[in-house]
Amino acid sequence: MLMDPTLVLLNGNIYTMNDENPRAKAVAIYGSRIIAVGETDDVQRSVGHSTKVIDLQGKTVIPGLTDCHIHFVAYALRASEVTLDGAASLGEALGRVATRVETAKPGEWIVGGGWDKNLWALERTPSKEDLDGISASNPVALESKDCHTLWVNSLALSKASITRETMNPRGGEIERDPETGESTGILKENAIHIVKSVLPESTVEEVAEALKPAIMIAHTLGVTSIHVPEGRRSFQAFQRLLSRGELRLRVCMLIPVESLGAVTELGLTTGFGNEHVRVGMMKMFADGSLGSQTAAMLEPYEGDPENRGILVTPREEMRKVVATASTHGLGVAVHAIGDRANRMTLDVIEDVAETEVGWTIRWRIEHVQHVNPRDLKRFQQLGIIASVQPSHIALDMDIAERHLGRRSREAYPLRSLLDNGVTLAFGSDGPVMPMNPLLGIYTAVTRKRVNGHPSGGWHPEERISVDEAVRAYTLDAAHASGEERIKGSIEPGKLADLVVLSCNVFEVSEEAILDVRVEMTVFDGEIVYEVEAS
């Protein structure tokens, strides 16, 4: 070793995720890179006068964790908005909104989200009249739990110039009263953007400041990398923090399809950037969500024979976009939840891969919640990465049973995907679900809610192992962004992103996974989070 390490961790129980050297006791770091991994005695000999040495006393170490799908700016800004997560009834949700209205200035927008009609004992969806009764002077816009439906009041509709004559946008729906034709105050999929286009937007500096505490939360959860499907303002805010030396997180930006023209004109390609901020894939939508019953299904929803969901992007348009992106060196990540949306996306990628001359790129499908068994093997055959958010299983199991019936068996087919040779990459979809990889690991392994329901797990044949789940947050997550050569495992030459756990997540009982805590997070060779000694 030519230089003294800056940080050495000794006497650990290190799971490297490197198949050639899967276990180790110690690791040495110089600057932002790992320089040695091995036995304690061997690594200890490299310690110099300036080396910081930590005795792990047998604690378990894994690579830094990646959240492969998180709306991080939305997560950061949600802290200042009305939070409706967990509201058990319409009345409770309205009460929270009313509290915010009391302190708002006249005309100020009330924004927030997290409401879930699937939890409410309602025979109808919420309406503009519900909000009008508590907010006549303030426009209100509230995203559903799955972020695919917007609930607004009459003033918000007026601000967005939505009237009875307003046509549904392609790939979206303005829900209407069947008798009057007026909007009910519920907007689905692309119709959401009509209101969002008139919402006041935070400045880049305001976003950058909001990101700082969110990054600190990420460190407490062992998250050192994120894949972010957000737009211009988010990209600018991350770059602003980077320019100040304040970005202690690795960011892979999934560029929205609306920016495809600008990106290709500039010549930006997947992988451009550095170890902190890089251009990822182009992100587009195939369909909606299960919670809003807008996921595109091959068969109608139970009890709703006219509804097979919404195809947000028609097939021919998707093919054109995917072909354009791939021939310009951009990978493609497609949001597809329903089995019809997943099949259409597979068909399009197969067609483009066979007929277009493009760069060597990687394909991803985001969510992959419902897949017809006939299509499982096609992911592996086409080299498509399945980017899944396992904690959604707890959110969706009852909804799937209610709206899909027997087809719920095909939901979140994690075991089947792995058995068919498909690469899994895991995330949270925050703020839809908590940014907590250990919760995701627990759910993928048990297919239960945190209360242990259902006993034995929901469709337990699709459970996976702890090792497979951790790999989906580490090495395979790095593969999903084309960065497996520089991170995702603990081996010499790779970035020094590590997590120390309170106990061995690979050996505790399944139920005890929820009790595992992050005790230390190392990012770029620096300790960015550490539990204080009691």
- The per-residue pLDDT for range 350-409, each reduced to its tens digit, is 999 876 655 568 899 999 999 999 999 999 999 999 999 999 999 999 999 999 999 999
- The per-residue pLDDT for range 112-171, each reduced to its tens digit, is 999 988 888 876 789 999 999 999 899 999 999 888 899 999 999 999 999 999 999 988
Nearest Cα to Cα of residue 147 among 82, 203, 259, 71: 71
Q: What is the mean pLDDT of residues 61-67?
A: 98
- The per-residue pLDDT for range 248-274, each reduced to its tens digit, is 999 999 999 999 999 999 999 999 999
* Domain covering 1-58+490-534: architecture: Roll (2.30)
Which residue spans of the chain are classified as CATH 3.10.310.70?
81-196
- The per-residue pLDDT for range 312-348, each reduced to its tens digit, is 999 999 999 999 999 999 999 999 999 999 999 999 9
pLDDT beyond 70 at 534: no
- The per-residue pLDDT for range 271-292, each reduced to its tens digit, is 999 999 999 999 999 999 998 8
Residue 268 region, left (φ>0) first, then alpha (ψ -120 to 50), else beta?
beta
Residue 199: both structure tokens together: 């919402």
Integer distance in angstroms from the first to the last C-alpha of the chain? 36
Which residue spans of the chain are classified as CATH 2.30.40.10?
1-58+490-534
- Tallying the residues shown for the chain, one arrives at 534
The verdict on domain 81-196 having CATH code 3.20.20.70 is no
Residue 9: both structure tokens together: 């961790």
- The per-residue pLDDT for range 456-472, each reduced to its tens digit, is 999 999 999 999 999 99
Rg (CA), the chain: 24
The pLDDT-based confidence of 532 (bands split at 50, 70, 90) is: confident
Q: Tell me the whole-structure pTM to 2 decimals.
A: 0.91
Q: What is the mean pLDDT of residues 221-237?
A: 97
Identify the pLDDT of residue 123. Answer: 64
Burial class (CB in 10 A: 0-12, 13-18, 19+), 23: exposed
Q: Supply φ then ψ for residue 81, to 5 degrees.
A: -110, 175
Give dist(CA 498, CA 220) in Å, integer.
12
